[in-house]
A and B are shown apart, each in its own frame.
Chain A
Amino acid sequence: MSLFAIRNLSVDVPGRRLLHDLTMELPPRRVTALIGHNGSGKSTLLKTLARQIDGTGHIAFEGRALIDWNARDYARRLAFLPQTTPPAEGMIVRELVALGRYPWHGALGRFGPRDHAAVAEALEECAVTDFADRLVDTLSGGERQRVWLAMMVAQQANTLLLDEPISALDVAHQVEVLSLVRRMCQDQSRSAIIVLHDVNMAARYCDHIVALKAGRLAMQGSPADLMRPAALREIYGLPMDVLIRDDGLPVAVPA
Chain B
Amino acid sequence: MTHPRILLPAAGLVALTLWLAAALQLLPLPLWPALPFSPGAMDLDQIRLAFGLMPRGFIALLAGACLGLSGAMLQAVLRNPVADPTTLGISSGAQLALVLATIHAPGLLAYGRWPFAMAGATLAAALVLGIGARRDFAPVTMVIAGMLIGLTASAVATAVTLAEGQYLLSLVIWNGGSLVQQDWSGVRALTTVLTVGGLGAAALARPLRVLSLGSEGARGIGLNVALVRLAAVAVSVWLAASVSAELGLIAFVGLAAPALARSMGARTIGQRLALSPLIGALILSVCDGVVLAVAGQSGEMFPTGAVTGLIGGPLLIWLLPRLRGSTPPGTEAAEGSAPRLRRPGTVLVALAIALVLLAMILIWIGRVPGGWAVLDWQSFRDFLPLRAPRLIAAAAAGAALALAGAILQRLTANPLASPEVLGVSGGASLGYATVVFAVAAPGAVALGAGAMIGAALALALVASFTARRDMPAERILLAGIAVSALSAAVLSAMMAIGDARSWAILGWLSGSSSGVGMPAAMALASVALILWTASLGMTRWLGVLPLGSEVASGLGLPLGRARLSLILLAGIATGAATMLVGPLSFVGLMAPHMARRIGLARPVDHVTGAALIGAGLMLAADFGARMAGFPYELPLGLFASLIGAPWLIWLMMRSPR
**Nearest opposing residue in chain A for B601, CB measure:** A90
B554 at the interface (CB under 8 A from A): yes
In contact, B555 and A103 (Cβ under 8 angstroms): yes
| CB within 8 Å of B: which A136-170 residues | 137-138, 155
Task: Say which residue of A75, A108, A137 sits within 8 Å of B556 (CB atoms).
Answer: A75
The distance in angstroms between the C-alpha atoms of A95 and B542, with both chains bound, is 13
**Nearest opposing residue in chain A for B537, CB measure:** A108
In contact, A95 and B602 (Cβ under 8 angstroms): yes
The distance in angstroms between the C-alpha atoms of A85 and B548, with both chains bound, is 9
| CB within 8 Å of B: which A29-88 residues | 50-52, 71-76, 79-82, 84-88
B206 at the interface (CB under 8 A from A): no
Once A86-B548, A102-B540 are accepted as A-B contacts, the answer to whether A51 and B329 lie under 8 Å apart by CB is: no
Task: For A95, list chain B residues within 8 Å (CB).
Answer: 543, 602
Task: For B554, list chain A residues within 8 Å (CB).
Answer: 50, 52, 75, 79-82
B550 at the interface (CB under 8 A from A): yes
Task: For B338, list chain A residues within 8 Å (CB).
Answer: 89-90
Once A107-B537, A107-B538, A107-B540 are accepted as A-B contacts, the answer to whether A86 and B547 lie under 8 Å apart by CB is: yes
In contact, B550 and A87 (Cβ under 8 angstroms): no
The distance in angstroms between the C-alpha atoms of A85 and B329, with both chains bound, is 9
In contact, A89 and B330 (Cβ under 8 angstroms): yes
In contact, A107 and B541 (Cβ under 8 angstroms): yes
The distance in angstroms between the C-alpha atoms of A52 and B556, with both chains bound, is 11
| CB within 8 Å of A: which B529-560 residues | 537-538, 540-541, 543-544, 546-548, 550-551, 553-558
Distance (whole angstroms) from the CB of B333 to the closest CB of chain A: 7
B328 at the interface (CB under 8 A from A): yes
A100 at the interface (CB under 8 A from B): yes
A99 at the interface (CB under 8 A from B): yes
Which residue, A79, A90, A92, A155, has most C-beta atoms of chain B within 10 A? A90
> Number of residues in A with C-beta < 8 Å to the partner?
35
Once A52-B550, A87-B330 are accepted as A-B contacts, the answer to whether A71 and B557 lie under 8 Å apart by CB is: yes
| CB within 8 Å of A: which B558-579 residues | 558, 562
Task: For A88, list chain B residues within 8 Å (CB).
Answer: 546-547
In contact, B329 and A90 (Cβ under 8 angstroms): no
A128 at the interface (CB under 8 A from B): no
Task: For B381, list chain A residues within 8 Å (CB).
Answer: none
The distance in angstroms between the C-alpha atoms of A102 and B555, with both chains bound, is 6
The distance in angstroms between the C-alpha atoms of A175 and B90, with both chains bound, is 53
In contact, B340 and A92 (Cβ under 8 angstroms): yes
Distance (whole angstroms) from the CB of A137 to the closest CB of chain B: 5
In contact, A90 and B547 (Cβ under 8 angstroms): no
**Nearest opposing residue in chain B for A98, CB measure:** B543
**Nearest opposing residue in chain B for A77, CB measure:** B556
A91 at the interface (CB under 8 A from B): yes
A135 at the interface (CB under 8 A from B): yes
In contact, B601 and A91 (Cβ under 8 angstroms): yes
Question: 20 A-B contacts, Cβ less than 8 Å apart?
Answer: A50-B554, A51-B553, A71-B553, A71-B556, A71-B558, A72-B556, A74-B556, A80-B550, A86-B413, A86-B547, A86-B550, A87-B329, A88-B547, A90-B338, A90-B340, A90-B596, A99-B547, A105-B540, A107-B540, A107-B562
Chain B positions near chain A (C-beta within 8 angstroms):
328-330, 333, 337-338, 340, 413, 537-538, 540-541, 543-544, 546-548, 550-551, 553-558, 562, 596, 601-602
Additional pairs, 14, CB under 8 Å, beyond known A89-B338, A107-B538, A155-B555: A52-B550, A71-B557, A82-B550, A84-B328, A86-B328, A89-B601, A90-B340, A91-B601, A95-B602, A102-B544, A102-B557, A105-B540, A135-B337, A135-B340
